[in-house]
Amino acid sequence: MHDQAMEGARMSGGSRIIGVDLNPAKHEQAKKFGCTDFVNPKDHTKPVQEVIVEMTDGGVDRAVECTGNADAMISAFECVHDGWGVAVLVGVAHKEAVFKTHPMNFLNERTLRGTFFGNYKPRTDLPGVVDMYMRKELELDKFITHSVPFSQINTAFDLMLKGEGLRCVIRMDE
């Protein structure tokens, strides 16, 4: 589950935003970003993509995978709707990871895409993001869960690796 992906879905008018995470504690945090449903794969005996296809009566319009876990990437692709569903892979997989799915998933007109940096072009797109923030259309403050002085930079890395925070600001003034 990724906060920026949910925020993007919310801002794009997504009516149902399903967060998937192994950590049930993330459900409450996900609600701040528009998450309407939460699925923990550990709570089910069948693959999470099957759970989501059942929940949505055929699959989701869009799926965004942000972890870089190859199994999660496959699940994201296999939970999109036949005919028009699009899965976007954001996470970077391990160099030896393998993506395996049945060829019929492509023949059923599902689309698989990858992106790096959200397809943003910093020089031309970033000013628009700043304008959205200044107009209060983009709420960036809710992404910041911790703030530490530079002397505690290792704490920021620990929080990131444990998955306990979303974004940590490292202050250079202390």
Confidence category of residue 116, pLDDT binned at 50, 70, 90:
confident
Higher pLDDT, 78 or 34: 78
Structure tokens at 28: 């409450």
Residue 117 has pLDDT above 60, yes or no: yes
Q: Which residue's entry shows tokens 């009566």? A: 57
Please report the pLDDT score of residue 120 as a whole number. 77
- Whole-model pTM: value is 0.78
Describe the crossing of helices 70-78 and 48-55 by its angle, rounded to 10 degrees: 30
Please report the pLDDT score of residue 140 as a whole number. 81
Please report the pLDDT score of residue 1 as a whole number. 52
Distance of CA 134 to the CA centre of its chain: 24
**φ, ψ dihedrals at 173, nearest 5°:** -80, -5
Please report the pLDDT score of residue 2 as a whole number. 74
Q: How many residues are listed for the chain in this entry?
A: 174
Could you give the domains of the chain?
A: 3-119 (3.40.50.720), 122-171 (no CATH)
Round the average pLDDT of the chain to a whole number and report it: 89
Confidence category of residue 16, pLDDT binned at 50, 70, 90:
very high
Separation between Cα atoms, residue 154 and residue 172, nearest integer Å: 14
Structure tokens at 94: 């391990």
Question: Mind spelling out the 3-state secondary structure of the chain?
Answer: CCHHHHHHHHHCCCCCCEEECCCCCHHHHHHCCCCCEEECHHHCCCCHHHHHHHHCCCCECEEEECCCCHHHHHHHHHCECCCCCEEEECCCCCCCCCCCCCCHHHHCCCEEEECCHHHCCHHHHHHHHHHHHHCCCCCCHHHEEEEEEHHHHHHHHHHHHHCCCCEEEEECCC
